[in-house]
Amino acid sequence: MMPILEKLLKKRGINSIEELREDEKEVFDRWDKVLSDGDITLEKVVQFCNGQIASIEDRWKDLNAPQEKNERLIIHHTVYRTIRDIITKPQAERANLEKYLNSLLT
């Protein structure tokens, strides 16, 4: 638990998170996660994009969704996939090029 959250609990007279209601625990856990995640890395961005892409693809399974909603999901999917590809494709291309150049050396 982050020190700032501990201070807030103590200020409010709460000694343990077990004293919180379920909805308060959810907020507390979310705040704790946000505060403890550290720096944003490219790996975290790729993980986030992959999660959003999977979520969007799950929503496409709803065959009763209005066309406007599906169009918006397509746009979101394209944006997340493009961000992910901008980060990951150069790494894959680099690995392939290194493999090719190494094969030329042997």
Q: What is the pLDDT of residues 23-45, one digit of tens each?
A: 888 888 888 887 887 788 899 89
Give alpha helix (H) positions in 21-66. 22-36, 42-59
Chain Cα centroid distance, residue 94? 25
% residues pLDDT > 90 (the chain): 42
Q: What pLDDT does 1 receive?
A: 63
Mean pLDDT computed over 46-57: 94
Contacts of 9 (CB under 8 A, 6+ apart): 15, 17
Query: In the predicted model, is pLDDT for residue 102 greater than 90?
Result: no
Q: What pLDDT does 16 receive?
A: 87
- Both tokens of 52, joined, read 């959003």
Mean pLDDT computed over 11-23: 89
% residues pLDDT > 70 (the chain): 98
Q: What pLDDT does 33 receive?
A: 81
Higher local confidence (pLDDT), 82 or 36 = 82
**Domain ranges in the chain?**
3-36, 42-105
Q: What pLDDT does 92 receive?
A: 84
DSSP state of 64: T
